[in-house]
Amino acid sequence: SDLQKQEERGELLQPLIFVLLVLCSILLYFKVSLMDPGFVKPEEEVKEGEDKGQGVVIPQIPGDVKLRRCGYCLVKQPMRAKHCQLCQHCVRRYDHHCPWLENCVGERNHPLFIVYLSVQLVVLLWGGHVAWSGLYFEQSREWLQHNIFLLVSFFLIFLFTIVVLLLLVSHLYLISCNTTTWEFMSHHRISYLRHSELENPFDQGIILNLWRFFC
């Protein structure tokens, strides 16, 4: 049959890979949006796992900066944690609350969020290539009527690709500096950064920062 001939010629491999990437993107979306981003547990549980959750203690942070108690959920906040009023929880290594995910991006799901953005970018670039390759340009009204769907699809894919690319690049830059979106945007309001002698006391070099984040 025609399907078997296409399979023998390898013409079904690329569509199959594309569909698998789309499914992987969907699964990652639900995984990141539904998982615990690193909610701070009640104070008696934080004491047990604080050393595991917080990682390396940075000596450059002033000793007079003490852990504060959250005024909303009344837990003692570990360093780099922040209360999210939308999630009604304090989140460890809080980065930001993503409206597309309806969830915070924090200590536990931040690496998966980067993987999701990367897969999404590949899907968008591939889809944009397919939409562009299907266009053949002619100056006629009939041509515009027959290709309006492809033109709109390519424009939307191009727009989403720019957004995802900028988001991915900005997050990779912040990760390489070992800082978060919240710390980057609110540096002057965060006590452990405002009172530190260094601009970024958590920075341990690009390679080590990336290694600690992803591994």
Q: Do residues 72 and 48 make contact, with C-beta atoms less than 8 angstroms apart?
A: no
- Check residues 165 and 200 and name the one with the higher pLDDT: 165
Q: Does residue 106 form part of some domain?
A: yes
Q: Is the pLDDT of residue 139 over 70?
A: no
193-205 residue pLDDT tens: 887 878 888 999 9
Q: Does residue 196 form part of some domain?
A: yes
71-122 residue pLDDT tens: 888 888 888 999 999 999 999 999 999 999 999 999 999 999 999 999 999 9
The rounded distance, in Å, linking the Cα atoms of 171 and 114 is 8
Question: By three-state DSSP, how is residue 105 classified?
Answer: strand
Q: Does residue 33 form part of some domain?
A: yes
Residue keyed to tokens 């070992």: 178
Q: Strand runs (DSSP E) across the chain, as ranges?
A: 82-84, 89-91, 96-98, 103-105
Q: Does residue 57 form part of some domain?
A: no
The rounded distance, in Å, linking the Cα atoms of 16 and 39 is 38
> In the prediction, which pLDDT does 82 show?
93
Maximum average pLDDT range among 64-68, 134-138, 142-146 = 142-146
Q: Is the pLDDT of residue 137 over 50?
A: yes
How is residue 40 written in tokens?
Answer: 């701070």
Q: Does residue 84 form part of some domain?
A: no
Q: Does residue 90 form part of some domain?
A: no
Q: Does residue 70 form part of some domain?
A: no
Phi/psi at 39 (5° precision) = -60, 135
> In the prediction, which pLDDT does 56 show?
42
How is residue 125 written in tokens?
Answer: 């670039």
Q: Which residues are catalytic?
A: 98
> In the prediction, which pLDDT does 134 show?
67
Q: Structural domain of residue 174, as residue ranges? A: 2-37+102-214
> In the prediction, which pLDDT does 7 show?
55
Q: Is the pLDDT of residue 215 over 60?
A: yes
The rounded distance, in Å, linking the Cα atoms of 117 and 100 is 12
Q: Does residue 148 form part of some domain?
A: yes
The rounded distance, in Å, linking the Cα atoms of 42 and 24 is 34
Other Cβ atoms within 10 Å of 28 Cβ, number: 18
Number of domains in the chain: 1
2-17 residue pLDDT tens: 545 555 555 678 888 9
